[in-house]
Structure 1
Amino acid sequence: MESFVERFGLWSADQRKQAQEVIERLKSGEVDVVRFAWPDQHGMLRGKTLVAHAAQDALLEGVNLTSTLLAKDTSHRTVFPVFSAGGGFDNAGMQGGADFKIVPDPGTFRVLPWSPRTGWVLCDAFTTDGKPCLFGTRQILQRAVGELDVMGLEFVAGLEVEFHVFKLDDPSLRLEHAGQPGEPPRVSLLTQGHQYLTELRYDRVEPLMDLLRSHLIALGLPLLSLEIEFGPSQFELVFGPTAGLVPADTMVLLRSAIKQICQRHGYHATFMCRPRIPNVMSSGWHLHQSLRSKPDGRNAFVPQDDATALSPLGMHYLAGLKAHARGAAPLASPTINGYRRYRPFSLAPDRAIWARDNRGAMLRVLGGAGQNATRIENRVGEPTANPYLYLASQIFSGLDGMRRQLDPGPSADAPYETPADQLPLSLGDALAALRADTVLAEQLGTRFVEYYCHIKEAEIARFNLEVSEWEHREYFDMF
C-alpha cells in the first residue's frame, strides 16, 4: 500500500534518497527518539516526538496534528471559531479541530547535540488530501524561491541576529504564576552592557559563548562570529550566506536551539525585541541578501563599475524592497513590542530609504565592482520574525521591482532627514499597510494575508484590554 508521501508525490528524487538514509540511521540505533518539528504561523517550532521505530513509518506517512494549532496567537489562544462551519478558515476540512499532516523534509534531519540520542527533522504542513496547507509559511517561501528558480536565480542570505541572555533566577513556576501567558521568569544580568565589542565583556561570558558555539557548530549551522552587543546582557551572532530555504531553516533552528541550550544551563535567552529591563537596547535581525545566477554561480548584484551601487538587476530588486517596505513591515516586525525599536538616530530605520554603507538607512548596500560579497542589508527586522514570511516578503518585493524595472532613487546620505515614506509606527498601522499592498497580498495569497492579520489583530485587541503601568502612574493620583 502506498504511503502518504508516495500517494501524493510530495518528495523529489533527492528527498526519497535522503529519507532512505535517515531510515538506515534509525535502524542502526543511533537515536532513541525523533522530534518532528513544524514551524507554525509565528515561526515557532511545534510538533511531536516519536520513538525511533515509529519515526521510520512517520517519515513516509507524516504526523497528524490538530488544526487548532493554526488558529493560535502568541499567547497560544485559539482566535478562530474552530467549531463553526469551515472552522473559521473557510475550509470544511479544518472545522472541529480536524487533523492536518506534517511531512518531514528528510534533508533537514540531524541529531541534537544538547539532547542525547535525539533526532530532529523539519516538516511541512499538508491537508489530509495531500494539498499544501494554505497557511504553511515554509511553503510560501518555497513558492517565492521557485519563482526565482524559473528565472535562473537563487536567493542567498546571511543572518545577523541580536538577542539577550540572562541568568535565570526564578522560572516563575509556582501555582499562582500559571496563566495564558504565564508570569515571565525573573532574571538578572550577565553583563552591565554599554561596552560594545570589548574583550573584557566577552571574556566574562566566555563559558556561555563557548557553550553556544560548540552546539551550533555541531548542528552544522554556518556560524561566523559571536559578539558582545551594546545593551545589558545583549549578544549578536553572525551566520554566513546560504541559499534558498536554508537561511530560514537556520533561523528557526538556531532560535529554538539557543533557548533550549540556555534553559538547560541556568540561563534565560530571549529574542524579544525590547525587554522591559533598565537601560535596555532593542534587538534587531539584519538580513543580508543577494541573488546568484544558477548557471554560473555569479553574484547577480555585482555592478560593472563604481558608477552604481549595484548591477541594474540589483538596483531594480533594491527598488522593490523600498517600494514594498511598508507592506512588508508586519512580516519583518510581527509583534507589538517590535515597533518600539524604530526610533530616529538609534541605528534602527524609521523610513523607507537606501544608502551606501550607512547604518541609519533601512536598506544598506555593501560591496561594489569586483566584490563577490556585494549585497543588500535590510535592517528593518526584529529577531522574533517568522523567517519564512520575512524572506518571502523580500523575494516577492524584489521580484516586483525587477519585473517593473523600478528605480530606487539616489542614495540617502542623511537617512534620518531624507524625505521618504515613513515606516509604520505600530503593528496595527503595519497590518493596514500589508492589506493595502496588492502585490504582496496577491503573492502571499489574499486568504493567507487575511488569516495572518486576523491573528495579529487578536493580539492587539488583548493588548488594548490591559491597563499599562504608564496609564496607572499617569492618571491614578492626578485625577
Structure 2
Amino acid sequence: MSTKATPDATTAIVEAGVDLVQMELPDVNGALRGKFLAVEKVKPTSKSAVCTVVYQLTPDDGVWTSVHSSYDNGFPDVLGHPDMTTATKLPWRNNQAAVIYDVNRRDGEPFPLASRNVLRRVAGLFDETGLEPRFGVEFECFVLHADRELIAHGRYHDMAALGRMHNAYRLNQADEARELGVEFIRRMRSIGIGVEVFHTELGRGAVEFALSPETPLRAADNAVRAKTYFRELCAERGLVSTFMAKWHGDESGCGGHVHQSLWRGADNIFGEPSSGDISPQARHYLAGMLCTMSDCNVMFRPFVNSYRRLDHKAWSPENASWGYDNRSAALRVITYPSAEAVRVEHRVPGADANPYLSLAAMLAGGHYGIVNRLDLAPAALGNATERGAFERLPDSLCEATVAFRASSFCREYFGDEFVTHFAESRDVEWLHWCEWQKTNITRFELDRLFETA
C-alpha cells in the first residue's frame, strides 16, 4: 500500500495497522541508512535531525571529515522530512512501514550532498522540455549460503553458492533460486515495485532481476529499495547476496544496467516509426551521454573493485561506444519490436553504483546532447572495443576521480559542492586501497619472488 502526499498520508498507514516506520536515507554510496520512528512522528510536515556524518561514511562505516561535517564544526545536523509519496506498509514486517526521506539545510534549501537531491536537480531540467524520461534498472548479484564464521575470517570464497546452477536462464537445477525469485517478486509487487524479470545468470549462485520502467526519482527509489529488501529476504533464508562489481576472480561481474527512453505523453520519442530507426532527439541524447561518459565514469564505477569488472570480453564496455543491439558497446540501442519499445541500455554501471547518481549522470548527458544538438558518431559494428574511434573510459578509480573533479560539465549539472564532496569521498576510497596494499603482500608476489628474488 503506497500513500499519496496528502495530510491524510499518516492516517492511511495508521489505519493499515502500522505503529513503527523505517526512515530510509540514501547515502552517497547508494545504501539505505536511517532510523526507526513511532508512526506519530511521521507526517508530511515532520522534520527529523540527520547528522551530516551520514554523507561521510564509507561502505564499512569508516568516518572521514570535510567542510560539511568535522570536529571543527561539531558534525552538525541537517533536516530530513518524509516524502509521503514513498510511504508503504511492509507486509512481511509486523505492523511496520517505510518512508524515504529528503534532506534539506536548516534554511529549507536542498542539501547538496543528498543523492536524491542531485537526481531531482537534473531531472527538473526536463520539466521545461515537456519530455518525461523513463528508466528501468537491472541488477545482477551472487547469492550464497551465509556462513558468519567464514565471513569473519575473510573466507568469502569458501561459502557454498545458491543451488547447482552456473549458467544463465536455467529452469532446472535452480529450485532454490526459483523459490527465492518468486517470493521476491511477490514482496515487491505488494509495495508497488514491479519486477519484470528474475532469472539465473552466468556464475554459480548468480541471478538477475529487472525492475519496471518508472520516472527518474521513482526508478531510483525502487532500485535502492529492491536491492535492500532483496538482501533482507536472503538473510531471512540463511543466505547472503553480494552486489560487488567483481566478487570472485573466476566468476562474472555484476552489472547494474539501465534501460531508458524519453516520452511526450503516450509517445516514445526515441522511436521513429517511418524508418524503424531512432529519432533525431534520441541521437542527440546518445551523443550527449557518450561525450560526457568519461567525466561521469566515477558515478557509474565508484569503487576500486568496480574496475575489476572492466572487460569487454565479459560484456563490460571499455570505451564510450554505441551500437545496435550490441552488448559490447557502452550504449546498446534496441529498436524492436515496435517504436514504443525503442530504448537505450546503458551497460557501464555495475550493481555497486548509486542508482540516483547513475541516473543523474545519464540524464545530464542526455540533456546536454539535446540542448546542444550534438551529432552522433557512426555505430560500432562488431566488437565495440576493437572497432570505431571511441574514447577510452578511465580504467581506475583514481583516474576517474581526476576526470570528474576537473569536469566543468559535472559542476554545472550536479553543483560544485556535490562534485567536490563526491570526489573527496572517492579519494578516501583510493587512499584506503593504497594503504591496504602497503601492508599486504599478495600471493602473486610470494609465488614469483619468495625463492627466486
TM-score (norm 2): 0.92
CA displacement at 1:416 relative to structure 2: 2.4
Change (3 A) 1:282 1:27: closer
Q: Which residue does the alignment assign to 2:8?
A: 21
Counterparts of 2:245 and 2:3, CA distance in 1 = 40
Change (3 A) 1:23 1:329: same
Counterparts of 2:275 and 2:318, CA distance in 1 = 28
Q: Which residue does the alignment assign to 1:78?
A: 63
Aligned residue among 18, 21, 36 for 2:23 = 36
**1:219-234 residue pairs with structure 2 within 5 A?**
219-234=191-206
Q: Which residue does the alignment assign to 2:390?
A: 420
Counterparts of 1:343 and 1:236, CA distance in 2 = 19
Counterparts of 1:446 and 1:472, CA distance in 2 = 45
Q: Which residue does the alignment assign to 2:134?
A: 156
Contact in 1 for aligned 2:259/2:345 (Cα 8 Å): yes
Aligned residue among 381, 385, 407 for 1:437 = 407
Aligned residue among 290, 297, 314 for 2:266 = 297
Contact in 1 for aligned 2:56/2:425 (Cα 8 Å): yes
Q: Any idea what the Cα deviations from partners look like across 1:232-277, whole Å, max 9, x if unmatched?
A: 100011122111311101111001100111111100011111113x
Q: Which residue does the alignment assign to 1:3?
A: none
Q: Any idea what the Cα deviations from partners look like across 1:104-159, whole Å, max 9, x if unmatched?
A: 11000001133221110001111222221011110111111110011101110112
Change (3 A) 1:171 1:224: farther
Contact in 2 for aligned 1:168/1:186 (Cα 8 Å): no
SS at match of 1:420: coil
Counterparts of 2:409 and 2:198, CA distance in 1 = 38
Structure 1 position 100 matched with structure 2 position 68:
no
Counterparts of 1:261 and 1:194, CA distance in 2 = 21
Q: Which residue does the alignment assign to 1:282?
A: 253
**1:59-458 residue pairs with structure 2 within 5 A?**
59-80=44-65, 87=69, 95-170=73-148, 187-276=159-248, 279-293=250-264, 296-306=265-275, 309-367=277-335, 370-414=338-382, 415-418=384-387, 419-458=389-428
Counterparts of 1:323 and 1:165, CA distance in 2 = 36
Instruction: Extract unaligned runs of 5+ from structure 2.
Output: none
CA displacement at 1:433 relative to structure 2: 1.9
Contact in 2 for aligned 1:310/1:368 (Cα 8 Å): no
CA displacement at 1:366 relative to structure 2: 0.5
Contact in 2 for aligned 1:262/1:269 (Cα 8 Å): yes
Counterparts of 1:173 and 1:347, CA distance in 2 = 29
Q: Any idea what the Cα deviations from partners look like across 1:378-428, whole Å, max 9, x if unmatched?
A: 100101111111101001101111111111211101212123211111111
Q: Greater shift after overlay, 339-348 or 310-319?
A: 339-348
Q: Percent identity of the aligned residues?
A: 28
Letter of the 2:351 counterpart: P
Counterparts of 2:269 and 2:147, CA distance in 1 = 50
Change (3 A) 1:173 1:403: closer
CA displacement at 1:223 relative to structure 2: 0.9
Instruction: Extract unaligned runs of 5+ from structure 1.
Output: 1-14
SS at match of 1:156: strand
Contact in 1 for aligned 2:164/2:174 (Cα 8 Å): no
Change (3 A) 1:64 1:478: farther
Q: Any idea what the Cα deviations from partners look like across 1:159-209, whole Å, max 9, x if unmatched?
A: 2211111111226687xx7xxxx9869631113444221211333532222
Counterparts of 2:405 and 2:66, CA distance in 1 = 22
Counterparts of 2:42 and 2:257, CA distance in 1 = 36
Letter of the 2:379 counterpart: S
CA displacement at 1:476 relative to structure 2: 4.0
RMSD (CA atoms): 2.4
SS at match of 1:245: helix
The total of aligned residue pairs comes to 446
Counterparts of 1:79 and 1:204, CA distance in 2 = 41
Counterparts of 1:208 and 1:171, CA distance in 2 = 24
